[in-house]
Structure formats: C-alpha cells, structure tokens
Structure 1
Amino acid sequence: MSTSSRFDRFIGNVSLNAAQRQEAQDRVKSVASKLNERYYPNVAYTGSTKLLIGSHAKRTRVRPPRDVDMVFIMPILQYKRYDEYAGNGQSQMLQDVRAVIAQRYPSTSISGSGRVVDVKFTNGHSVQVVPAFEVTGKFLLADSHDGGSWQLSNYREEAAFVDRSDKRTAGNTRKLIKMLKVWQQECNVPIKSIVLELRAVNFLKDWPHASKSSTYHDWMMRDFFKELLNYTNGTCKIPGIDEKCQYGDAWAAKVRRAYANALEACEDEASSYEYLATEHWQKIFGSMYVGP
C-alpha cells in the first residue's frame, strides 16, 4: 500500500461520520433553542442567535468526538446590566446562562468559568457555550477571570482564515490540522488548538508542496514539526482582531519527539519499508493510523 493510500485512509478514520456530525448539530440546537426561548421570548428559534465556532465551524473536527463550541448571541440590551453589575458582572452572565441551560438538562454537569459555559454530556459531544454580544460583526465575550473583563473575538474571520488556506492548498490545510489534532490528543501535547491552526496555515503559505497530493503528506508532517520548533515561545496575530496568540513552550519536547519519529518514518517510506514507517507514524498518531 502506498504512502498516499495510507494517509488517505488515516484521514478517513479520524473524520467524524454522519451520525456524529448529526449528534453535534442536535445538541447545539437543543442548547441554543433553550437560550433563545429565555432571552428572545417573542422570537421563534431559527438558529440566527447562535454561531458554530472552533473545529466544527472550521471543519477540522476529529474522532473521538470532543466538544462542539458555539457562541450564543445575547441581546445587546443586556450588556449594560452586566457591565454595571456590582462585582464580577461577567461571571454573573455566565452563571445566568448556566442556570437557563440547567432547566433543560437538570441532571447534566454544567459549569461556567472563564469565557465558557460547559455542558458536559457523558457520551459523545459536550457543548461549550460562549455567551457574547455581537458588535459590528465581532463578538464581545464575558471573561470572568481576574475580576471580570470584556474580550473581543472575530470567530467568523478565524474560520475564513482556515477556509482561504484550504482552498489555496487543495484541501491540505484541513487535513494537516486534523492530523495535528489527532497527535495533540494521542500524545497529550500541551498546545492550544488555535496555535496548531495558525501555524498550519502559515507553514503552508511557503511550503513548496502545499497543494500537492497526499503522496507528500509524510513530508508535510515532518517539515511542519521541524518548523514548529522554530516558534517556541513565539507569537502570532489572531485573525480579525488586534491581539496575538502566545505559543508557549510546554509542547517543545513532544514536538522534538514527533519530528524524530516523522524523520525516521519518511526515510522508511523512501526505502519502501512500509511496516517500519507505520510503527513510527503510530507513535505520533496512535492506532487510527493503519499500516499496509
């Protein structure tokens, strides 16, 4: 079996199936419609008060199912109430949203902290709700940390950033991000998903084989890990806002290990040692990468 065939099969193995995609959609709809009922009591739910964000919006989700992230767009008139709240109004907003969701799911563990209300279902996708106010196409988020503050995000531009790259690279951007997320989970890598996404897009801008077939996926993984090491403690602008993402360095040792395995795997691929190559790829990706 060729290198390209094995990587194509791997991408198929890690992508969500139709039932898993439907489950995520159903859970988002259930949570969002309950919030819509509370905050827009005179408006029937159509989906316009929620926005998928994260991997489901960017179409980079992988198995096993993780969280499905969504923004719930709060009525702008509520902003003054929470902004002028005596104490941490941002925390209060999260707790109010949490209480509404708990009416629909009274036996489900639901917590609200930071920027997120986390609805922890015991199987399949959990739902992470980011309540926010929409202002000129961007979102003002309630952050309950350090006494509370408002933070700006542009989730639509984040998704468009990945989409534009994916079109330029004939689908390789999303494939690279999916494979990196499997590695992140399989090897318990302490790196943010947004770091992987930003680096994947920026790496492929200059990589000479960015739009070529999956025959080059082994080199793509090897060269990505090699370049990522150059960004230890680096930063990158977050799409759509004037803010930078801090990369950190807690992940560096695991990247070095992944690069070493990818380097050996590429050498084995070149020598047609498919079984040896598979052993090295499985040290990066786990059992969802299947050999010949």
Structure 2
Amino acid sequence: MLAESFEEFVESLELDNQDDIDKKFRSITKRLNMSYYDGSTSEEDHGYKVGSLGRQTAIRGISDMDMLFVLPPSKYEQYEKHEGNGQSALLQDVKKELRKRYSNEKIIVRGDGQVVVITFSNYEVEVCPAFENDDGSFTYPDSNEGGKWRRTDPLVEIGESEYMIDHTHNHFKYICQMIRAWKNNIGFKMGGLLIDTLVHRFFRKYPAYVTATYEDYLPLFKDLFTYLKEQNKEQNYWRALGSRQPVYDKHKTFISKAKKAYNKIKDLTEESEEVYEKLQEVFGIKFPVPETVAKAEFSSYAYLSTAAATEQFIEHKFKVDIRYSLKIECEVSAKGFREGLLRTYIRTKKPLLLARTLRFYIEKNEFKERHKDIPLPFDIYWKVRNRGEEAIKRNCIRGQIKKGTTQIEESTSFMGGHFVECYIVSNGVCIARDRIDVPIFETPFAMKIKP
C-alpha cells in the first residue's frame, strides 16, 4: 500500500505543460536562428534545453525553462573586440532580437547579467547565448564587473543524467523529483543541479539502490536524508554530475533541513500508524493517503471535522517552485512594550503568557532584493493555523490563505501547537515561503486576528 502511494506521488510530479514548453522553445529558437543564421527558420538548430528540463528531473509547477542558444563564432570575435562591456552588449542585442517576436512579453537581462529572461503568463524562459568550444563545452557572457566570459558544460551533465535514469530504471529521476517536492514543501532554496548531483553521488555510494523499486523507497529516503545531513557544512562546492564543474551552495540550508526530515521518518515502518502523516510533513499535502487509512488512523491527524474545512494549502492555489529565500520573524510585546522575538522564547523555553501581541513580519525577501534594479511584481500571502483539541472545540483552526502586506498582527488566546506561514507569489507561482512554528503546549496560547 505504501509503495502504491510512492508511485502515485511520483506520477503526480510529472510535468503537465511539456507541450507548451516545447512550443516556446521552438519559437525562441526559430526567432534567434532568423536573427543570427541568415534567416534560417529552423526550430531546433543551435538550441538546447538545459537545466532540470534538459536533465529530465524537473517537476510539475516548474516556473522557469533554461535554454542555451549557440551563436556563430564570428559573433564572439565581434563582442570580444567590442569597446567597453562586450558581454553586456551581446545580451542587449539578443534581447532586442527577441523583442521582434515577443513584443508583448516582459524581456529583461536578469540581475546576474548572464541570461535574457522572457516572462510569460505562467513561467519564465531564461535564454543564455553561448559559443561552442572544441571540446563540446560552451562559453557564455557574464556582464558583471566590466564583463567576462564563463564556461559551462551542460550536455555532459544531461548525458550523465540520462545514463543514470536508464541505469536505475527511472528511479534516479523519481528520487531527484521527490527531493524537489521536499524542498518546495519545506520552503528553502536549493539549486536543481545540486539536487541532481547529490542524488547521483548517493546512488554511487549506495549501489544496492540502483535496483530499487517503490517498495524500497522508505529505507532509501532514510539513507538519503542521512547522506544529505552528513554533508560537510564547511564544503564550498560539490562537483557536478558528468561535467565535474563546481556547484555552489552558500548557505547549505539543505543539511539542517535533511536532519529534520530524517528525524521525522527514521523510526517509521510501513505499518506505523503515523507513516502517512510524517511523509506528508516531509513531501507535502499531496502525498497520497489511502482511503482506508484516511478514514481510520489518519483522521485524528487531518482533523476531519467541520472545523477543518477552513484550512487552505498553497499547493492548491498556486504552482510552487521555491527559488528564493524568505525569512519571517515574530516580535512579542505586552501593552505596547517589546518583550523579544518568538524564536528566542522557543529556543530558551521561556513561557509565552496570555494577552501578548505577536507581530509577524518579513525580515528578508530575497526575490525583492535580487530584482531591486528592475523591480518585478509580487504578492504576499499569510496563513495562520491553530492546532490542538481546543482549536477544534472552538471551531477555530483557521488556516485560510490571505493576501496581505509585509506584516500581520495576532494575539495569544488558547493553547495548542500552531504555526504561521508566509508566501511570496510572482507570476502565478509561489517562489518563496517560510514558516514559524509555535509549539506551545504548557502555556495557554493561540493566534487570533484582532477585530
């Protein structure tokens, strides 16, 4: 039964917009061929899907397509000799050519100065102009710090991913996709290439899982989260699958998140009463729960009562593709006087008393910071969820997702284990999220919006 849930979950992660992605790719490739190859109308020549889509590890809800377009060698000579920042000039020229096809879409050179971004109604396409090298790698422009050229080797990474997918009978792909689902559910930033690289290294370290089936997924993820949580926090980069290029992760947030995930599932067996509850906590609300389980053991977790009808889930309202960091904080005050941060209360086990005001606010929004030069629109949503017997008795579990501003104010009322979540939504996609748990059981506590 658990194996069937894993299989159903994997199937739910498959892309649902592949046809539209392919159509956009062909259209962009054709336009650039017309511009740079004497009016060629080819929809395939010189264009490559790269990134997670190229490696076949992308999941439903992906909010960007990475593509590489190979320019003629003569263009490299032109921009290398360009007076000033030739790399910036190249990106601006590609942007100008794309406007001939996409006059109604927003087209920008992204803040990192390496790609041209076309924003469509449901996702973005990041076009990286490049030049092919003799060894099959590519040189691409970086317009930062006066301009320079960089090297990338995505086709070797794609080839190694394709080999592993075949070698593991697709399970390498499925595991990479489930790690993306975990990342999106928990709400932290982790690059797709790093995910695929670490899963690739995991299979190399644990060759027995090469022949894994869905029946092996629970022990596999116990070992995988163990492997992730034991990565060296001092390590600056990992060598990418296939290309061996360095893959950086400045904050290495995945290590602490993997430790929490491991602790949730380490003692589980297929027969555990809370196995589906814990797997949903790790992978998200869409992890399938068999109907028989939902009606019996799972009902207490899901609070299947009339009160539960108020709870909403971000996954049901928007696509979720976490690509940016978000951090929220909570300030505790009484009668207008600040007492401290909620995280400090929890860490020091200081009791949180009644009649306290809680001000939840955004401390860091990476999406806004990354796009400060060319601001992009986004919306902020909040969710306040009361949990526990008292919340159910009072029919006050709440859990609605509401559009808001950079802060909300709550007040303590009754005890239970509660939480507040915040979401950043841009272009119809939730691209950042954060959560503060309020696990107060000894002290009467809950959140209730002031009238």
Q: What amino acid is aligned across from residue 216 of structure 1 in structure 2?
A: D
- How far apart, CA to CA, are the structure 1 residues paired with 2:217 and 2:140? 38
- How far apart, CA to CA, are the structure 1 residues paired with 2:244 and 2:52? 22
Residue equivalent to 1:132: 130
- Identify which of 33, 46, 49 aligns with 1:52: 49
Residue equivalent to 1:243: 245
Residue equivalent to 1:182: 181
- Identify which of 80, 94, 109 aligns with 1:97: 94
Residue equivalent to 1:225: 225
Q: Is the 8 A contact 2:159 2:242 kept in 1?
A: no
**SS of the counterpart of 1:209?**
helix
**1 or 2 for the larger relative contact order (CA 8 Å, sep ≥6)?**
1
**SS of the counterpart of 1:82?**
helix
User: Displacement, 1:90?
Assistant: 1.1
CA, structure 1 residues 188+91, in 2 after alignment: closer, same or farther (shift >3 Å)? farther
The runs of at least 4 aligned residues of structure 1 exceeding 4 Å deviation read 239-242
CA, structure 1 residues 240+225, in 2 after alignment: closer, same or farther (shift >3 Å)? closer
**SS of the counterpart of 1:251?**
helix
User: Displacement, 1:254?
Assistant: 2.0
User: Displacement, 1:46?
Assistant: 4.2
- Identify which of 252, 257, 262 aligns with 1:254: 257
Q: What amino acid is aligned across from residue 49 of structure 1 in structure 2?
A: H
Matches within 5 A, 1:13-162: 13-17=12-16, 20-113=17-110, 114-123=113-122, 125-136=123-134, 137-162=136-161
User: Displacement, 1:174?
Assistant: 0.4
The structure carrying a bigger helix percent of its residues is 1
CA, structure 1 residues 239+214, in 2 after alignment: closer, same or farther (shift >3 Å)? closer
- How far apart, CA to CA, are the structure 2 residues paired with 1:146 and 1:243? 22
**SS of the counterpart of 2:107?**
strand
Q: Is the 8 A contact 1:233 1:247 kept in 2?
A: no
- How far apart, CA to CA, are the structure 2 residues paired with 1:199 and 1:241? 14
Q: Is the 8 A contact 2:132 2:138 kept in 1?
A: yes
**SS of the counterpart of 1:200?**
helix
User: Greater CA deviation, 279-288 or 76-85?
Assistant: 279-288
- How far apart, CA to CA, are the structure 2 residues paired with 1:211 and 1:170? 8
- How far apart, CA to CA, are the structure 1 residues paired with 2:146 and 2:245? 21
- How far apart, CA to CA, are the structure 1 residues paired with 2:92 and 2:114? 11
Residue equivalent to 1:192: 191
**SS of the counterpart of 2:83?**
coil
Q: Which runs of 5+ in 2 are unaligned?
A: 291-451
TM-score (norm 1): 0.90
Cα offsets for 1:120-143 (capped at 9, x unmatched): 1122x4211111001121111111
- How far apart, CA to CA, are the structure 2 residues paired with 1:143 and 1:257? 37
State the Cα RMSD in Å: 1.8
User: Displacement, 1:179?
Assistant: 0.5
Q: Which runs of 5+ in 1 are unaligned?
A: none
**SS of the counterpart of 2:222?**
helix
- How far apart, CA to CA, are the structure 2 residues paired with 1:13 and 1:55? 17
User: Displacement, 1:147?
Assistant: 2.1
- How far apart, CA to CA, are the structure 2 residues paired with 1:256 and 1:86? 51
Number of aligned positions between the proteins? 283
**SS of the counterpart of 1:52?**
strand
User: Displacement, 1:242?
Assistant: 6.1
Residue equivalent to 2:279: 281
User: Displacement, 1:272?
Assistant: 4.1
User: Displacement, 1:99?
Assistant: 1.5
**SS of the counterpart of 1:288?**
coil
Q: Is the 8 A contact 2:26 2:43 kept in 1?
A: no
Residue equivalent to 2:435: none
- How far apart, CA to CA, are the structure 2 residues paired with 1:240 and 1:166? 13
Q: What amino acid is aligned across from residue 130 of structure 1 in structure 2?
A: C
Cα offsets for 1:208-252 (capped at 9, x unmatched): 223221111122222112111222343322355563223432333
- How far apart, CA to CA, are the structure 1 residues paired with 2:159 and 2:100? 35
Q: Is the 8 A contact 2:85 2:143 kept in 1?
A: yes
- How far apart, CA to CA, are the structure 2 residues paired with 1:69 and 1:260? 35
CA, structure 1 residues 29+255, in 2 after alignment: closer, same or farther (shift >3 Å)? same
CA, structure 1 residues 76+262, in 2 after alignment: closer, same or farther (shift >3 Å)? farther
**SS of the counterpart of 1:189?**
coil
Residue equivalent to 2:289: 291
The structure carrying a bigger strand percent of its residues is 2
- How far apart, CA to CA, are the structure 2 residues paired with 1:216 and 1:145? 47
- How far apart, CA to CA, are the structure 1 residues paired with 2:254 and 2:227? 14
